[in-house]
Amino acid sequence: MAETPAAPQGERKKIIFSGIQPTGVFTLGNYIGAIRHWGPLQEEYRCIYCVVDLHAITVRQDPAALRRRTLEAYALLMACGLDPEKSILFIQSHNPHHNQCAWALSCSTQFGELSRMTQFKDKAARYADNINAGLFTYPVLMAADILLYQTDLVPVGEDQRQHVELTRDIAGRFNGAFGTTFTMPEALISRSEEGARIMSLQDPTRKMSKSDPNPKGFVSILDEPSVIMKKFRGAVTDSEAQVAYAPGKDGINNLMRIYSVFTGRDLPAIQEEFAGKGYGDFKSAVGEAVVQGLAPIQNRYKELMEDKAYLERCYQEGAQKAMSVSGRTLEKVYKRLGFLHK
Ligand code: ATP
Ligand code: LTN
């Protein structure tokens, strides 16, 4: 994120935590809104990134697919520039402290607070036949993820702001009742127009989502070049045929934001570039820019997936490192709550 504050020299390095669900191959939305910012943050902060498989099962997953996707998600994070030597990179279910801390925090979370979460309301409507308790308490587990590492900053897309706010409320309540235990985290959300929220290519009023049942709505970062081109050519836009960023032109605005991220050009420059040209030319140009931008990630991903033993070593070491940090916080939590020492 261009606007990320620099870590002050000489002070403790600030801690960054973020997570992503292994519910499918990452989309352009995940990449633009979240993951592309995570690599550069490694240079200045103490970064901890997690594949949140415990969160993924709030929606029914096929076990074999979940296992495969979890490894793929881990490799994809590395392909997007996360380095296990610089960051702690691990899989959530490998560290039991998350479940343990979540239970403690759930007793400092109100039913009413959870009922107000928009992600819960959205998912409850979408998966009406499986409104399980985990879907409801999902934000408490997310709070545990964040608070266990004494996190300062949580880089996420706009849709997660509400969950980070709730995490702050839970932390504040726990600290108030039992004494200061947790660092108060803050969401780190791209403030620029480009990228905070990438929309579906088929319904530009809805966010692009990797679990969209219609694959034409999202571009996954592993899509073949021909598939990417086809999805952009078929993107839903208005009938004005003028490449200009304006209220109500959700489809074109979305494509312009994507193009801007991959070319580094700002919106007025893009408007100028396509003055007098039709949507067809523009859509092809967006597709080409995305194909080119994703190629190095796709190549690196293929290499990584050929060395499963290396990936395994990385996620096992990642879990050990994560546990040594989270264990200290969990011990403090148990002590504060009054649990008798073992
Ligand atoms: P699912 O469809 O399975 O619910 P998702 O695609 O919404 O998943 P998550 O795993 O929940 O993705 O989110 C990972 C990160 O990507 C989060 O920080 C989230 O804010 C960000 N993100 C997800 N979708 C978008 C989007 N369309 N635009 C910008 N950021 C996004
Ligand atoms: N809730 C997030 C994923 C997530 C997360 C986290 C993000 C789980 N735990 C901790 C940041 C920090 C989502 O649905 N995208």
* Cβ of residue 217 lying under 6 Å from some atom of ligand 1: no
- For residue 182, the 8-state DSSP code is S
Q: What six digits make up the tokens of 332? A: 């403090």
Determine the pLDDT at residue 6.
57
State both tokens at 182: 């947790």
Alpha carbon distance 230, 40 (integer Å): 31
What per-residue confidence (pLDDT) applies to 80? 96
Q: What pLDDT shows up at residue 1?
A: 47
180/221 same-domain check? no
> Domain of 176?
15-194+308-337
CA distance 19 to 165: 16
Q: What is the reported pLDDT for 33?
A: 86
Residue 239: predicted pLDDT: 85
**Residue whose CA is at the smallest distance from ligand 1 atom 15:** 30
Residue 199 lies in a domain: no
**Do the beta carbons of residue 78 and residue 312 sit within 8 Å?**
no
Segment holding 264, helix H or strand E = none
Give the chain's domain count.
Answer: 2
pLDDT at 8: 55
CA dihedral of 272, 274, 275, 280, whole degrees rounded to 10: -160
Is residue 2 situated within a structural domain? no
Our mutation pick for probing the ligand 1 site, out of 30, 126, 154, counting the most ligand atoms within 8 A of Cβ, is 30
15 lines ligand 2 (CB under 6 A): no
202 Cβ closer than 6 Å to some ligand 2 atom: no
Q: Going residue by residue through the chain (342 aa), what tens digit of pLDDT does each one get?
A: 444 555 555 678 999 999 999 998 899 999 998 899 999 999 999 999 999 999 999 999 999 999 999 999 999 999 999 999 999 999 999 999 999 999 999 999 999 999 999 999 999 998 999 999 999 999 999 999 999 999 999 998 888 999 999 999 999 999 999 999 999 999 998 766 555 689 999 999 999 988 788 999 999 999 999 999 999 999 999 888 889 999 889 999 999 999 999 999 999 999 999 999 989 999 999 999 999 999 999 999 999 999 999 999 999 999 999 999 999 999 999 999 999 988
- Is 225 exposed, middle or buried (CB count within 10 Å of its CB: 0-12, 13-18, 19+)? middle
Q: Which residues are within 8 A (CB) of 23 and not within 5 positions of it... i.e. 6 or more apart?
A: 56, 59, 61, 69, 210, 211
Tell which one of 159, 198, 206, 208 to mutate to probe ligand 1, the residue whose CB is within 8 A of the most ligand atoms: 159
pLDDT of residue 241: 82
pTM of the predicted structure, to 2 decimals: 0.91
- The residue annotated as part of the active site, out of 14, 207, 231, 249, is 207
- Answer yes or no: is 4 within a domain: no
Q: 230 an active-site residue? A: no
Atom of ligand 2 nearest to the CA of 145: 10
Asked if residue 327 and residue 273 are part of one domain, the reply reads no
> Do residues 81 and 190 share a domain?
yes
DSSP bridge partners of 16: 47, 153
Shared-domain flag, residues 42 and 189: yes
* 127 shares a domain with 32: yes
